[in-house]
Amino acid sequence: MSRASEVVPFSICFVCAGNICRSPMAEIVFLSRVEQAGLSRWVTATSAGIGDWHVGERADQRTLDALAARGYDGSMHRAKQFDENWFPNLDLVVALDRTHLRSLQHSAPTASDQTKVSLLMSFDDSADRPWDVPDPYYSNAQTFDKVLGMIERASLALFRQLEPAIRQGALR
């Protein structure tokens, strides 16, 4: 394959506190949309946590259960911590709440990298402000299901916003 025809995928990282609840949901849901649209070659997504509390662990069982109930497979997820050195290789860094947003913007090495950081719920026009996806960790299975619903709506809105540009790039 010649260098001119190499695909450089659009790269996204979803970020929450520990990378075992919200951000894995967002990664898995978003990648499902990408796969369904046949754009896996042109988009990559991952997730990470601000903290290192759960590095190497599977997603919370309640996360896995909520995902499975809606047809998603989160079994391969292993938590990792966000590294500011990833910024140059990312096109978009999606925070799940304002605390993560501030932390990511603060850790961004450049002003350009700061502009890559957005809140997931800001893509969903129907979402109420303040646009935080609540952390279900200290809650019950119903809260995990509610959070997953929020993430599905916002991920679809994000995907719909990005899809035209990705398709245009895929046609080149």
- Residues 6+ positions from 17 with CB-CB distance below 8 Å: 49, 50, 51, 53, 99, 100, 135, 137
Residue in 110, 104, 106, 103 with CA at minimum distance from that of residue 88: 110
Q: Catalytic residues, which ones?
A: 16, 22, 135
What are the start-end ranges of the E strands in the chain?
10-16, 43-49, 92-95, 117-119
For residue 171 the two structure tokens come to 């046609």
Is the link from the previous residue into 134 a cis peptide, with omega within 30 of 0?
no
